[in-house]
Structure 1
Amino acid sequence: MAKTYTYEDVQQHRSTDSCWVVLYGSVYDVTPFLPSHPGGSKIILQLAGTDATEEYDPIHPPGTLEDSLPDAAKLGPFDMSTLPKEELSPEQTGTPSKSPAQEQAEEPLATLDECLNLDDIEALATRKINRKAWGYYYSAGDDLISKTLNNTVYSKILMRPRIFVDCTRCDTSTTILGQKVNVPFFVSPAAMARLGNPAGERGIAQACETYGALQIISNNASQTPEQILEGCGPDQVFGWQLYVQNERAKSEEMIRRIHALPNIKFIVLTLDAPVPGKREHDERSKNVAANLGARSSIQSGSASTTTPAPTTGAPLRLEEQVEASGNLDGGVGKALFAGTAPDLTWRTTLPWLRKQTDLPIVLKGLQTHEDAYMASLHAPQVKGIILSNHGGRAMDTAPPSIHTLLEIRKYCPEVFSRLEVFVDGGIRRGTDVVKALCLGAKGVGLGRAPLFGLGAGGVEGVERTLEILKGEVETAMRLLGVEKVSELGQQHVNARAVERDLYEGGEIFLGQRVGMWVRSKL
């Protein structure tokens, strides 16, 4: 019978010569693994002699432990009762950790059924998830100006309801890049779903299947693409987000890997965050394990896992990269960016990508009409663009996507005939979705909402999120007198108040004054 270890036992093994950690109620000797840990040995040593489960579990996909350690590394069971009081998890002590929003909440909602809108879903999730998850999901750049404007700009666009129209029928189905979906909104790529609930991205996928919604899988998902797609129906549609890595071979291997997954119909190249923004709510968590462990878990087992490939030179280890960039206290967000390439260009990146895949390409993160026009020149390789400021998480005071959408209408409307144009960021209501569709968007992305839905109630929480939004979209369409998504148009909205805030320098392009460049088509 295996020996049962106590807290005193494991505390004696906290060095590079002998390093033990507790994971899932068992003691592991990880000493031989220290030199090869993708995040460097420091992060493991900081957790040595403790129960590291709470830090390890949300950011490592199932199976990572078994794949990384030999059977002999599992020494035996751990006696949880020997943990000192401060080491007990919130659940064990009966005092769950609370975010600032949790502490301020009044009259808390108790069930998903009581949630009537996405704000209710977020409030319920905020009371359930821990501080680290809340900080990562809620956070945005600097003073949250772009994030706030994302949420409020839609309120300045007014609806124009029509009367004496038969509104008994309402069909929310549409197509996205030729793929039929049942709702005109989709799940945008958002990382680390398992921080909020163990169901993770797979749980979001299950909810999307129920509602026939498209899901774009995050490059930094907390589960592997195979785990996320496990059991999905043949008609369920996914996209794959790509952050190009400094070591291009890693990205190339990942692209080959997703080619084997037929449900992934297109690649979303993310461009709005070549470097991480300053997300202070995330950084205040000062979670060292997240800081150095999140990216290492991705590189060693999650959605971005790649088979090791020969590389030239001697790239910095993750620990060195993070220390060099000053990200030791940067929260989950900055850690996720370790290894992401900041040198992408029109001239070099799209030709490289053309060699790697025949899948349709969508460019995510366009924030000006000039870049939208440039993207349209790369059709048909580029099939679509997502107007996005990264949920306000990159450059604060960047414009909301609806501004960019209106800029395109004003300066280069031909883009709509060359590409499918999508928007994301700040969607709180079905009316927000409908307003974007009226102004030319082909579909609307949801980032934080599915994550908070997951935190509020797992798969059922995401389903409730999609249910609420679908119902609100149907109500808005009926009150506009519209039966099909394709019938929505500019005549259904008044966006004049937003148009007043649009950029007025359309005569300057690529740094040169060229007159009305759009009219002359360059």
Structure 2
Amino acid sequence: MAGSERVELKPIAPAEVSKHNTPESCWVILYGNVYDVTELLPTHPGGSQAILRLAGRDATEDYDPIHPPGTLDSLKPEALLGPIIIEPTQITKETLPITLEEDAPPSLDSLLNLDEIEELATKKIKPKSWAYYYGASDDQLTKALNTQAYRSILLRPRVFVDCSRCDMSTQILGNRLKVPVFVSPAAAARLAHPSGERGIAAACAKLGALYIISQNASLTPEDIVRDAPDDQVFGWQLYVEKDNAKNEANIARISNLKSIKFIVLTLDAPFPGKREIDERFKYQEAPVVNGFRQEQYWGTSSTLTWRKTLRWLARRTHLPIVLKGIQTHEDAFIASTFAPRVRGILLSNHGGRALDTAPPAVHTLLEIRKHCPEVFGKLDVLVDGGVKRGTDVVKALALGAKGVGIGRAALWGLGAGGQEGVERTLQILTEETGTAMRLLGVEKVHNLGMAHVNTKALESQIYDGPFERSKVLDHIEAKL
């Protein structure tokens, strides 16, 4: 704890901690010590209930996976009250953890696709963590459609083509990458494995893949990039929060990390979606306000607008800006008018976790191709959501995407086997991508195009309304 020089800390009995389980006095146990965290109740980003539900007991298991190391340093020295008295526990043969050989998990090398990795991770991680990763909004239709849309596209292989060579290298925002697959921002990775975001970063380094770090990572950005090779490429996700001083401090901090090459401004979640699977685990813990349970605390600003927000951000960083959450061709077109300050867009519906029945990225790609194809020449267009196969990657690239992101799949890999599990996830996806390119008769990523895909089955689902560019530009001050 910063500045803590207390010489004598008196051991505290568990019963004494339990006495301070009130809204006025909140003690918790963390890493074997007792802390008075009452001062945090009105300002905690997750709301006071996130602390109160753990009051009077050991909170380490809930606290550790989602808070970066050093978070406790922000407390006043007197908040550390002393070590907890460990009461003896009777250990018997029945209480010993025994792993039977037949229950041993399969080796990562034996897993052949991303569904098998997800299945293994589901068995290994805690139910509450699984719910947080797996859940999507309402009926989860958009989450399902993200994957189904790729299945609706057929590939068009060409024969009598030398396919002995396959080069998957590409460039995103001028940064050279070995593969066109990247890891999209996904929060709280340590819920899946103790290595957390460092494990994902190390796996991306081995495969030469881009990693966009979540602002809600369970480790600090400095810790995540600390051991990265000099040529590893990172992006960083920015949520604009209601606390502007915190926003500016975050941006300044990120702009000084040389490994981070661009900022991804997230626009697809200005308000929380209704994630029912996740909420079932939180329901009993949520406070009741005005007769309703408040399941989620949301600190993200809902007041962002095109000119105001981009002008503000451009003044505070030299890094290129990518806009995440574009879901219509109109917004893609507007984004292109802010080039070159805006260098890219990430077509995303927040993994189906925001607005249910919003379109998958593939639909938006086809919309842009139909209504304003010049966007592809002005911006690097990235996509994420629902990618399960290398054929999905190839289809997105053929439709104009520069890179294809995975979010949940990386977390499932982490849950299945830590860093090695993420490596296996990326390995499967890139090997499948290479196989698909060879069978299409394509040697390099930039040679993929519309001639390699048949999108006829999707075309009836693509927006076909009017597109009046002047009217669209008249509305760029509209709130997102």
Q: How does 1:30-109 map to 2 (within 5 A)?
A: 30=37, 42-68=49-75, 70=77, 73-79=80-86, 81=88
- Partners of 1:95 and 1:345 lie apart in 2 by 56
Q: Which amino acid aligns with 1:437?
A: L
> Which deviations, in whole Å up to 9, do the C-alpha atoms of 1:231-252 show, x marking residues without a partner?
1111111111111122322211
- Partners of 2:96 and 2:370 lie apart in 1 by 58
Instruction: Determine the structure 2 residue equivalent to 1:308.
Output: none
How big is the shift at 1:66?
4.0
Matched, 1:452 2:412: yes
- Partners of 1:193 and 1:325 lie apart in 2 by 34
Matched, 1:191 2:157: no
- Partners of 2:40 and 2:308 lie apart in 1 by 38
- Partners of 1:68 and 1:407 lie apart in 2 by 50
- Partners of 2:129 and 2:49 lie apart in 1 by 23
Instruction: Determine the structure 1 residue equivalent to 2:15.
Output: 8
Instruction: Determine the structure 1 residue equivalent to 2:478.
Output: none
SS of corresponding position for 2:354 = coil
**How high is the sequence identity, in percent, across the aligned residues?**
60
Matched, 1:463 2:414: no
> Which deviations, in whole Å up to 9, do the C-alpha atoms of 1:41-70 show, x marking residues without a partner?
554343222111121111111122244252
Whether contact under 8 Å (1:408, 1:415) holds in the other structure is: yes
Matched, 1:401 2:397: no
Q: How does 1:250-329 map to 2 (within 5 A)?
A: 250-286=246-282, 328-329=294-295
> Which deviations, in whole Å up to 9, do the C-alpha atoms of 1:299-338 show, x marking residues without a partner?
xxxxxxxxxxxxxxxxxxxxxxx958966324xxxx3xx2
SS of corresponding position for 2:282 = coil
Relative to structure 1, the CA distance from residue 24 to residue 510 in structure 2 (aligned partners, 3 Å threshold; closer, same or farther) is farther
The one of 326, 336, 340 equivalent to 1:380 is 340
> Which deviations, in whole Å up to 9, do the C-alpha atoms of 1:244-280 show, x marking residues without a partner?
1223222112111111101111111111111111111
- Partners of 1:357 and 1:455 lie apart in 2 by 34
Matched, 1:139 2:135: yes
Matched, 1:158 2:154: yes
- Partners of 1:268 and 1:36 lie apart in 2 by 26
Matched, 1:182 2:178: yes
Whether contact under 8 Å (2:9, 2:81) holds in the other structure is: no
Matched, 1:359 2:280: no
TM-score, normalised by the number of residues in structure 2: 0.88
Gaps of 5+ in 1: 84-91, 97-106, 293-321, 515-522
Whether contact under 8 Å (2:37, 2:79) holds in the other structure is: no
Relative to structure 1, the CA distance from residue 174 to residue 33 in structure 2 (aligned partners, 3 Å threshold; closer, same or farther) is closer
Matched, 1:442 2:402: yes
Whether contact under 8 Å (1:237, 1:263) holds in the other structure is: yes
Whether contact under 8 Å (1:4, 1:79) holds in the other structure is: no
RMSD across aligned positions (CA): 3.0
The one of 167, 170, 177 equivalent to 1:171 is 167
> Which deviations, in whole Å up to 9, do the C-alpha atoms of 1:11-63 show, x marking residues without a partner?
33434676432222333444566666555655434322211112111111112
Paired residues in the alignment total 461
Relative to structure 1, the CA distance from residue 274 to residue 195 in structure 2 (aligned partners, 3 Å threshold; closer, same or farther) is same
- Partners of 1:93 and 1:509 lie apart in 2 by 68
- Partners of 1:281 and 1:42 lie apart in 2 by 19
Whether contact under 8 Å (2:33, 2:80) holds in the other structure is: no
TM-score, normalised by the number of residues in structure 1: 0.82
The one of 307, 310, 316 equivalent to 1:347 is 307
> Which deviations, in whole Å up to 9, do the C-alpha atoms of 1:154-208 show, x marking residues without a partner?
1111111122222221111111000001110111111111111111111111111
Instruction: Determine the structure 2 residue equivalent to 1:103.
Output: none
Gaps of 5+ in 2: 1-7, 475-480
Q: Which amino acid aligns with 1:48?
A: A
- Partners of 2:104 and 2:469 lie apart in 1 by 51
Relative to structure 1, the CA distance from residue 226 to residue 288 in structure 2 (aligned partners, 3 Å threshold; closer, same or farther) is farther
- Partners of 1:25 and 1:358 lie apart in 2 by 43
Whether contact under 8 Å (1:172, 1:184) holds in the other structure is: yes
Instruction: Determine the structure 1 residue equivalent to 2:126.
Output: 130
Instruction: Determine the structure 2 residue equivalent to 1:121.
Output: 117
Q: Which amino acid aligns with 1:112?
A: L
- Partners of 1:269 and 1:474 lie apart in 2 by 31
- Partners of 2:25 and 2:88 lie apart in 1 by 23
